[in-house]
Structure 1
Amino acid sequence: MTLKKRDDYDHPVFRIQEEMNKLFRQMFQEPFFSNDFFHAFEGKGWLPRLNQMEQPDEYVIEAEIPGIDPKTVEIQINGNILTIKGERRAELERKDRNTHIVEGTYGAFHRSVVLPGNADFDKITAAGKNGMLHIRIGKKPEEKPRIIKINS
């Protein structure tokens, strides 16, 4: 048996391996709140903040979309991935004043959320009000094990 010195684990190869292990753990687990994997692939720019909650009968996702008409937001389901897409447009034409600093963020966005296996895609509703988009996803009823009696 060979004992490793602490310095051996600080080698870049071990750090890369640990990062890859973290990535694969995130990819193949199914919890509702694991979305870091998708953020790495989303475009840079403006992203609405999300609140994700689990309630006894449903999952709830709230997206902050101030200044966006909720009717222009698109919600897609592909497999067990829910994606929210939209765009915040800038008010570019301002003839009555000179703009010196623009701190607002504008442009297209998309956010993806991995939904658990018991999400019921036939029971999804969405509503928008006061700059918030509320998405509710029902849960499928739990399957109970069936006991089979053996005839003798």
Structure 2
Amino acid sequence: MKLRTLMTPGGRAPAAHNDNPFTALRQEIDRLFHDATTGLGLGDAMPHMDVVETDANITVTAELPGMEEKDVEVTLADNVLTIRGEKKVEREEKGETRHVVERTTGTFARTIEMPAGMDPAAVKATMDKGVLTVVMPKPATAAEPRKIEVTRVA
């Protein structure tokens, strides 16, 4: 069975056929550099995220389809929120011939700098149907600056 796709992984159109070996080498090098600079070849394994701020909280929502809470680690250290995970695909290969493999696997890490004063103990993370939600209460705002009168020492 011969299958053909219109788009290659990473959303690039397939290269035009060229008998020049240097052109083929150049195209392969370009593909390797593209893969290395777009999430180490993970493509869609890097989660898409939303960051929403309200008066009370900062909420980060990340799409992690096919992942479970045991595959994800969330940390907050030095005002940096880090979401790490590993996307795995378990397969049995008993005489199988794979024609197309587009599902991505591998590890990822996304980091976001948070405002100073975030309390790691107050952070709550939940996972539901492949969507990770991290809710962080905002730190109390500093008091409004006020002018302090300077007086002469008697």
Common fold: TM-score over 0.5: yes
Residue 107 of structure 1 is matched in structure 2 by 106
How many equivalent pairs are there?
Answer: 113
Residue 80 of structure 2 is matched in structure 1 by 81
Task: Give the share of equivalent positions with the same residue, in percent.
Answer: 29
1:140 aligns with 2:150: no
Residue 67 of structure 1 is matched in structure 2 by 66
Residue 11 of structure 2 is matched in structure 1 by none
Q: Per-residue deviation at 1:96?
A: 7.4
Residue 118 of structure 2 is matched in structure 1 by 119
Query: In structure 2, do the counterparts of structure 1 residues 73 and 118 end up closer, same or farther at CA, with 3 Å as the change threshold?
Result: same
> What CA distance in whole angstroms lies between the structure 2 residues aligned with 1:56 and 1:145?
17
> What CA distance in whole angstroms lies between the structure 2 residues aligned with 1:127 and 1:77?
15
- Structure 1 residues 90-105: aligned runs within 5 Å: 90-95=89-94, 97-105=96-104
CA contact (8 A) 1:121 1:138 kept: no
> What CA distance in whole angstroms lies between the structure 2 residues aligned with 1:74 and 1:120?
17
What code does the residue aligned with 1:89 have? Answer: K
CA contact (8 A) 2:57 2:137 kept: yes
CA contact (8 A) 1:64 1:133 kept: yes
> What CA distance in whole angstroms lies between the structure 2 residues aligned with 1:96 and 1:57?
56
Query: In structure 2, do the counterparts of structure 1 residues 54 and 146 end up closer, same or farther at CA, with 3 Å as the change threshold?
Result: closer
Structure 1: gaps spanning 5 or more residues: 1-39
Larger Rg: 2
Q: TM-score, with normalisation over the residues of structure 2?
A: 0.62
**Residues 1-56 of structure 1: CA deviation (Å, up to 9, x unaligned):** xxxxxxxxxxxxxxxxxxxxxxxxxxxxxxxxxxxxxxx8x655221111111111
> What CA distance in whole angstroms lies between the structure 2 residues aligned with 1:101 and 1:44?
16
**Segments of 4+ in structure 1 off by > 4 A?**
146-152
Structure 2: gaps spanning 5 or more residues: 1-36
What code does the residue aligned with 1:131 have? Answer: G
Query: Greater share of strand residues, 1 or 2?
Result: 1
